[in-house]
Every structure is written in structure tokens, then in C-alpha cells.
Amino acid sequence: MDAAASDVAAVLTQLGAVAVGLAVLARLGHRTGVSPIPLYLLAGVALSAGGPIDLSPGLVEIGGQIGIVLLLVLLGLEYTGEELSTSLRAGFPAGIVDLVLNLTPGLVLGLLLGWDPVAALLLGGVTWVSSSGVVAKLLQDLDRVGNRETPAILSILVMEDMAMAVYLPAVAALLVGGGVAAAVGSLAVAVGAAGVALVVALRFGPLISRVIFHRSDEVLLLSTFGLLLLVAGLAERLQVSAAVGAFLVGITLSGQVAERARGLFGPLRDLFAAAFFLFFALSIDAGEIPGDLPLACGLAVVTMATKIATGWWAARRAGVGPRGRVRAGTALVARGEFSIVIAGLGVTAGVQPELGPLAAAYVLVTALVGPLLARGSDALLALIRALRGVFTPRPAREGAETS
């Protein structure tokens, strides 16, 4: 056997072994109702700590990059331009409450630790955004999609999605540095691009989609995937980050093309997103994670409380009773893919080495505890009421509202 053939053999067996390993984890996740994201992260940590397989880094990195692009294009495809613009009007107050309550704890902790302000802002982003993947699956698994608090939950997810279109390029600009003027310029480009994409999606989405449309899956997959990578690459070159470019492509595609693209990209996303989470875990200093765990738990406790408060507030605004408010809050607790994408930006740029391990530990905790809290939301409400009873002399007024 010559050298090239043995290389190919090595790469194929490595990839195969990793995919089989991830398949076992995904199976486990399905059986136990645990999101696969923390499991993939743990697998990556185990591999980087000298597991049995020595992956070639280049391969995982490219897989990981494609993973980010696919994660974000599907998040963009999730909502039609019309849904985005109506949600923007109706969900704005809830979006602001969500931002203030959940970005602040991470930001403050970063500053207290004496980090660079940009790194602190990234940590704020990590604690801010819920995992729409985990939340959507929870609502489905617990038969809560039809509940009256669900529109409030979904509207917060949509708002976070939209906010990412501004936040990601803004922090990407700050990470590049080059002073305030350059960052403001880059931010203006990003906000402008998001606005243009929304207008294009609403006005010309059907037209663009008609041009791209083809009844063959093969043609459609190649044209949308090609367009996606081109725009993502172009965005990266303009320093607006590939993730943002992909997200905007997702928003622009509409109608039948969007529907078919969701079906075609879905399996690819599952494959490459796993590579992304592995890549992230491999690119951080995993030895730090156990040491960061207490801090991550503290941050998780605070931000789980603020997320529950956010959901409570949004659901109450929608006229939902106390039980539904706690359901809304607990459903939103899990952080996931976006938090890792945000931390990944910082890791790649090389700010604050502690950010990666802390974010990984934090996502592990919230993604594991979040679904448990959502299942036990009624018990949690009883606990909240008991605590209120202790702290307020008169009987709690919330009880009267239920009837």
C-alpha cells in the first residue's frame, strides 16, 4: 500500500469511528430526552483529552465551519420574512426585556473577572440567547406547541434570531479591532445588510425563489448550497462573518424553495453541526472545564432565574396564568448552538482563553438542567409560591389571579 492510500484509509476510518461514536450518543440522547448538544461537547472534550482517535484538525475545522453555516441558514429558513416582520412589531418589548435580563449577568461577570470588554460582551451573548433547537424539541416532546404561552415563547426566539443578525457582525467587527470608527462602520454595514435582506426577502423573495426553483432535488440542493457558501464566503471576506451571511441567505429564501431547502439541508446540518460542536470542544483548553464548573454553575443559576423571569413576563403580557408563565420561563432556560457559535468567535479570534471552557461548561449545565426544569415546571411554581409565602406577610396575590 502506498502512502496516499494509507492516508485515505486513515481519514476514512477516523471519520467513521467518530460518526459511530456520535451516533451512539445521539441514540442515548433520544432515549433519555437529553439534547445531543451537551453530549457532543463532552465527546469533543474526551477526544481532546487524548481519546483513542487522533483526528486530523484540518478536516474537523472545515466540517465545523460548514456546520456553522448550515446551523445559521436553517435558523434563517425557520421563519418567513413575513413572520419576522410581524414578530418584530409584536415581540419588541419582550425582546428588550430578554436582552437586558440575560445579557447583563454574563457581561457583568466578564467585567468582574477583569476581562477585555469585548470578551465580556461575548460572555453576555453566551448567557443571552436560548437554544431554539432545544426549545422547539421540548415544546414538541411535552405536547406544549398548542399551549397559550407558546406564541410568547416563539416570539422571544424569533426576536433573539433577529438580534443575532446585528449582534454577531457587531462583535465580529469589535474582535477585528481597528478602533471605534472601523467597528461602527462594520456595524453599519451589518445592520444595513440585515435590513436589505429583510426587504429583499419580503419584496423579491418569491422572485428569487422562482429563479432558483427546480423540481429536481439534486439541482435545487446544488444551487442553494452553492449560493449559501458563496454568500457566506463573501460575508467573511467583508468581515461580517460567514455565520451572518448564511443567516441572511436563510431569511431571503422563501416559499416552496425555503420549504424544500429545509428538508434538504436538515440532514446535512445534523451531520456538520455535530462536527462543529466537536471542533469547538477540540479548539478550547478542555483541561480548564472542571476548574470552571463552579463559576459556570453560579452563572447558570443566575441566568436560569433571569430567563424564567423573562418567560414569566412575556407570558403574563399575553394573558397567561401562573402555571403557563413558569412553563414559558423554564422552556427558555436551555442555551445551546448560538452560545457556542458566539464563544467560538472569541476562541477563533484568540481573546480571553478562559471564555471557551467557561462557555462550554455553561452550555453543558443549562442544556442538561433546562429540559428537567421544563418538565418540573409545576413543582417549581409551588416552590416559588412557598418562597413568596415566606417573604411576604400577606397571602400571595398571584393565587387569586388564577381563578
Partner 1 sequence: MSDVTETKLPGVGVRHDFTTHHGDRIGMIAHRAGHRDLLLYDRDDPDSCGQVVRLEEDDVRTLADLLGAGHVTERLTELQSVPGLSIDWVPVDGGSACSGRRIGEIGLREDLGASIVALVRDGETIPSPPPDLTLRQGDTAVAVGTPEGIRAMHALLQGD
Candidate list 39, 78, 334, 345; residue touching partner 1; CB under 8 A: 78
Largest alpha-carbon pair distance within the chain? 83
Identity of the residue, 125 or 133, whose beta carbon is nearer to partner 1 in the bound complex: 133
Identity of the residue, 144 or 307, whose beta carbon is nearer to partner 1 in the bound complex: 144
Report how far residue 316's alpha carbon sits from residue 312's, in angstroms, rounded to the nearest whole number: 6
Least distance to partner 1, CB of residue 323, Å: 5
- CB count in 10 Å sphere of residue 96: 12
Q: Which residue bears the cell 416570539?
A: 155
DSSP secondary-structure letter at 396?
Answer: P
Least distance to partner 1, CB of residue 190, Å: 23
Closest CA to 279 of 45, 100, 29: 45
Least distance to partner 1, CB of residue 325, Å: 9
DSSP secondary structure letters along 194-206: HHHHHHHHHHTHH
Q: Does 218 sit near partner 1 (CB under 8 A)? A: no
Cell numbers that stand for 126 in this block: 453566551
Identity of the residue, 54 or 83, whose beta carbon is nearer to partner 1 in the bound complex: 83
Q: Does 324 sit near partner 1 (CB under 8 A)? A: yes
Segment 255 to 314, residues that bind partner 1, using CB under 8 A = 259
Binding part of the chain for partner 1, among 48-56, 151-159, 166-174, 219-227 by CB under 8 A, reads: 151-159
Q: Does 330 sit near partner 1 (CB under 8 A)? A: no
- CB count in 10 Å sphere of residue 191: 14
End-to-end CA separation in angstroms for the chain: 78
Report how far residue 141's alpha carbon sits from residue 135's, in angstroms, rounded to the nearest whole number: 10
Binding part of the chain for partner 1, among 12-20, 80-88, 107-115, 332-340 by CB under 8 A, reads: 80-88
Segment 128 to 147, residues that bind partner 1, using CB under 8 A = 132, 136, 143-147
Identity of the residue, 137 or 348, whose beta carbon is nearer to partner 1 in the bound complex: 137
What does the CA dihedral 201, 203, 206, 209 come to, rounded to 10 degrees?
A: -50
Q: Is 27 helix (H, G, I), strand (E, B) or coil?
A: helix
Q: Does 157 sit near partner 1 (CB under 8 A)? A: yes
Candidate list 37, 60, 121, 158; residue touching partner 1; CB under 8 A: 158
DSSP secondary-structure letter at 395?
Answer: P
Candidate list 6, 28, 56, 83; residue touching partner 1; CB under 8 A: 83
Question: How many CA within 13 A on the CB side of residue 352?
Answer: 24
Q: Is 113 helix (H, G, I), strand (E, B) or coil?
A: coil
Least distance to partner 1, CB of residue 221, Å: 19
Number of chain positions touching partner 1 (CB under 8 A)? 27
Q: Does 209 sit near partner 1 (CB under 8 A)? A: no
Q: Which residue bears the cell 461548561?
A: 361
Least distance to partner 1, CB of residue 272, Å: 21
Residues that bind partner 1 (CB under 8 A): 78-79, 83-84, 86-87, 132, 136, 143-151, 154-155, 157-158, 259, 320-321, 323-324, 327
